[in-house]
Amino acid sequence: MLFILLIAVLSGKPDTLRYKYVIIADLVCSLAGDVFLMLPSDRFVAGLVSFLFAYLFYIVAFTSGTGFGFSWRLLPCAIYGVLIFSILAPHLGQMKLPVLVYMVVILVMAWQAWERWSQIGQSAALLAFLGAVLFLISDSALAVNRFRGRYKSAQALMLSTYFAAQWLIARSVG
């Protein structure tokens, strides 16, 4: 994560400074989330909150310069969210509301990355959108593994998509 953070710090042009600084703030929150999830004691909620703030920063970044977009792209994101939540809901217990809030935020993040790419059509926006999609995959795998039942390939799937997502979005700064 430190190398990915460095990519964002060293990238960018004067016209993308706001986007760059918000992405850096996100990466710092993500790094904090990583640390919480790596600690020996269970700090899942602290990690969840750190990543929630990270995704809120991503929403700010993805709507900078383009505004908050509304289009048909919301529908596939909402359908995906309903499907994943219906898989998880019976197993969430007291975590139902926090997981729902978290899911809504990450879905809005992915939706706005998609809107940004559709509006500006730049390769940097495509990198951010692909990163957002990989975040959906990573967090879905994490949620299913944690709440529905552990499976063998979970770690490989979660980590590969997570780091690829962070790398792609850090590259979107350049």
- At 126-162, the pLDDT tens digits run 999 999 999 999 999 999 998 998 888 999 999 999 9
Query: So where are the chain's domains?
Result: 2-171
Query: What 3-state DSSP class applies to 129?
Result: helix
- Distance separating alpha carbons of residues 153 and 161, to the nearest angstrom: 12
Percentage of the residues of the chain whose pLDDT score is greater than 90: 74
**77 vs 150 pLDDT, higher one:** 77
Give the residue carrying structure tokens 């700090």. 43
- At 95-118, the pLDDT tens digits run 999 999 999 999 999 999 999 999
